[in-house]
């Protein structure tokens, strides 16, 4: 009797064991399918990214496309795994128990996915078109200020279009954001007048082009003076690298409201030295000849216009001479060598630099 019970018990539990083994086998096959699909996606992404890096596409959109290439095979693998595991009953149970309104949840999730994709693709397209426009205008020899302006305007336009696409995904009427934007604009206009003034001044600088990126400029207002190389012209401020090495962001309204000296606009710049010497050491022809000969021996001194030496004044027992010569813009600092040699030539003289300041 006990043997018969054992046989019946073994027969009774056999279907459960078989069902568990089937579930384990289906689960293993499903996981393997997902991993294989994910590995295929990684391989395709590697090949695609390597190929697209050779094009003009921005890195942002390249990485976005790379992620999409990974996601698509992975989703297919998940779909296949679900089909293998026959999880329709489980999914229906989850839907009935955990989602009281499954249609709304699905629609909202899909809208979020579309919004994320539009944001990523819109930003990538905007950056790519901005880079392409900058490169195209550079090949057409359009100045860098206009290139910067056009590229930024295009970038903002693409992002605005992206925003309208997102509104259509959520079925938001255009009138609502326009009304909100109008009220927000009025509030900003009152609260941020100085910022708006800087934006208008920045737009004027980019259009009028009083200086270019790479120029050295002087900006003076009262006791404040900035002398440096223009690194970037933004809508709110202009970044300068000062001659002392620091970087400063000067508000565009400050530049717009004050005089700006462009030190590198022309290819040459005049230097003016004042040399005061005892009258006993001064000879009208010989002194001038020595000074002119010294200037002609230096490459930084331009032969044209000709250097000149003129008597400026007689005071007591001293005579003051004015020495004028021209140097290339990038070589202004080299006049220190000329001052040193003049001092060696006339050790009893006083020398001062009047230009450049």
Residue 100 tokens read as: 């009281």
C-alpha distance from residue 274 to each of 72, 98, 277, 294 (Å): 78, 91, 10, 16
pLDDT at residue 190, rounded to an integer: 65
pLDDT at residue 140, rounded to an integer: 66
Spatial contact of 158 and 131, defined as CB atoms under 8 Å apart: no
209: left (phi over 0), alpha (psi -120 to 50) or beta: left
Calculate ∠ Cα 348-351-352, nearest 5°.
160
Q: Pinpoint the alpha helices (H) of the chain.
A: 2-52, 59-85, 88-98, 102-139, 144-169, 175-191, 193-208, 252-257, 284-296, 335-345
- The alpha-carbon radius of gyration of the chain (Å, integer) is 38
3-class DSSP state of 180: helix
3-class DSSP state of 309: strand
3-class DSSP state of 272: strand
Closest CA to 46 of 60, 32, 67: 67
pLDDT at residue 200, rounded to an integer: 82
pLDDT at residue 8, rounded to an integer: 43
One pLDDT digit (tens) per residue for the chain, 357 residues: 444 454 445 444 455 556 666 666 667 777 777 788 778 878 877 877 777 776 656 666 677 777 777 777 777 777 766 666 655 444 555 455 545 555 666 677 788 888 888 888 888 888 888 888 888 877 766 667 677 778 888 888 888 888 888 888 878 776 666 676 676 667 666 656 777 788 788 888 878 888 888 888 888 877 888 888 999 888 788 899 988 888 998 988 888 888 888 888 877 888 888 888 888 888 878 888 888 888 888 777 888 888 888 888 888 888 888 888 888 765 445 677 788 888 888 888 888 888 775
What's the pTM? 0.43
Indicate the helix (H) or strand (E) that contains 232: strand 224-233
Q: Give the dihedral of Cα atoms 79, 83, 88, 90; nearest 10 deg.
A: -80
pLDDT at residue 240, rounded to an integer: 92
CA atoms within 13 A on the CB side of 86: 5
Q: Rounded CA gap, 244 and 228, in Å?
A: 8
First to last CA, the chain: 119
pLDDT at residue 57, rounded to an integer: 63
CA atoms within 13 A on the CB side of 114: 16
pLDDT at residue 47, rounded to an integer: 79
> Residues of 304-337 as b/e, b for ≥16 C-beta within 10 angstroms?
eeebebeeeeeeeebbbbebbbbbeeebbeebee
> Residues of 139-153 as b/e, b for ≥16 C-beta within 10 angstroms?
eeeeebbebbbbbbe
Residue 127 tokens read as: 């950056």
Q: Rounded CA gap, 311 and 318, in Å?
A: 11
């Amino acid at each position: 009797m006990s043997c018969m019970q054992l046989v019946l018990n073994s027969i009774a539990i056999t279907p459960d064991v078989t069902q568990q083994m089937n579930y384990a086998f289906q689960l293993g096959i499903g996981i393997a399918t997902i991993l294989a699909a994910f590995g295929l996606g990684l391989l395709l992404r590697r090949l695609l990214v390597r190929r697209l890096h050779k094009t003009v596409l921005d890195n942002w959109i390249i990485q976005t496309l790379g992620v999409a290439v990974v996601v698509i095979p992975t989703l297919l693998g998940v779909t296949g795994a679900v089909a293998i595991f026959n999880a329709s009953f489980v999914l229906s149970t989850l839907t009935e128990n955990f989602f009281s309104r499954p249609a709304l949840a699905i629609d909202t999730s899909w809208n979020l996915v579309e919004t994320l994709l539009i944001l990523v693709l819109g930003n990538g397209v905007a950056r790519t078109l901005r880079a392409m426009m900058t490169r195209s205008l550079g090949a057409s020899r359009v100045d860098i200020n206009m290139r910067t302006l056009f590229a930024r305007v295009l970038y903002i336009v693409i992002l605005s279009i992206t925003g309208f696409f997102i509104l259509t995904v959520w079925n938001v009427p255009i009138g609502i954001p326009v009304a909100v934007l109008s009220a927000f604009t009025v509030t900003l206009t009152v609260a941020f007048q100085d910022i708006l003034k800087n934006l208008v001044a920045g737009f004027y600088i980019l259009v009028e082009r009083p200086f270019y990126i790479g120029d050295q400029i002087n900006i003076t207002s009262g006791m404040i003076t900035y002398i440096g190389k223009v690194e970037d012209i933004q809508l709110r401020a202009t970044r300068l690298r000062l001659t002392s090495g620091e970087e400063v962001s000067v508000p565009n309204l400050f530049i717009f409201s004050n005089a700006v000296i462009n030190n590198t606009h022309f290819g040459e710049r005049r230097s003016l030295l004042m040399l005061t010497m005892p009258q006993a050491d001064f000879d009208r022809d010989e002194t001038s000849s020595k000074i002119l000969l010294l200037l002609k021996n230096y490459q930084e001194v331009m032969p044209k216009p000709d250097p000149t030496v003129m008597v400026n004044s007689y005071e007591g027992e001293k005579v003051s001479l004015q020495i004028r010569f021209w140097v290339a813009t990038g070589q202004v600092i080299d006049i220190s060598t000329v001052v040193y040699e003049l001092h060696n030539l006339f050790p009893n003289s006083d020398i001062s630099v009047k230009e450049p300041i």
